[in-house]
């Protein structure tokens, strides 16, 4: 992870049985969230998976996001950073 990237723990934005979510900042600018979840399988929750979404100050909805598709927090963060840094700012 680049030294310019910071994760701030929070107790909000939980998703599908999740227990943790992090605000993601690049050089002090908020660019989105990553968090965990456990998808409901119809009779019990599955294993921990991670989601990411790109949402900045002033947004009324996420610009981009994933479902519980990432096996680790690192891969969810990489997906968010890859997407948010390649897209042109609005």
Residues 40, 83, 64, 77, CA torsion sign: positive
- pTM of the shown model: 0.78
pLDDT tens digits, residue range 38-77?
877 777 777 788 999 988 888 888 888 998 899 999 999 9
Q: Are 7 and 22 in contact (CB under 8 A)?
A: yes
The structure tokens 């456990």 sit at 38
Q: Are 53 and 64 in contact (CB under 8 A)?
A: yes
Q: Are 33 and 23 in contact (CB under 8 A)?
A: yes
């Amino acid at each position: 992870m680049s030294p310019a990237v910071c994760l701030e723990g929070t107790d909000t934005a939980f998703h599908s049985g999740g227990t943790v979510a992090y605000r993601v900042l690049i050089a002090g600018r908020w660019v989105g969230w990553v968090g965990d979840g456990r998808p409901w399988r119809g009779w019990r929750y599955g294993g921990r998976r991670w989601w990411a979404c790109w949402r900045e100050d002033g947004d009324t909805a996420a610009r981009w996001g994933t479902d519980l598709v990432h096996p680790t927090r690192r891969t969810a963060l990489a997906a968010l950073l890859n997407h948010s840094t390649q897209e042109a700012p609005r």
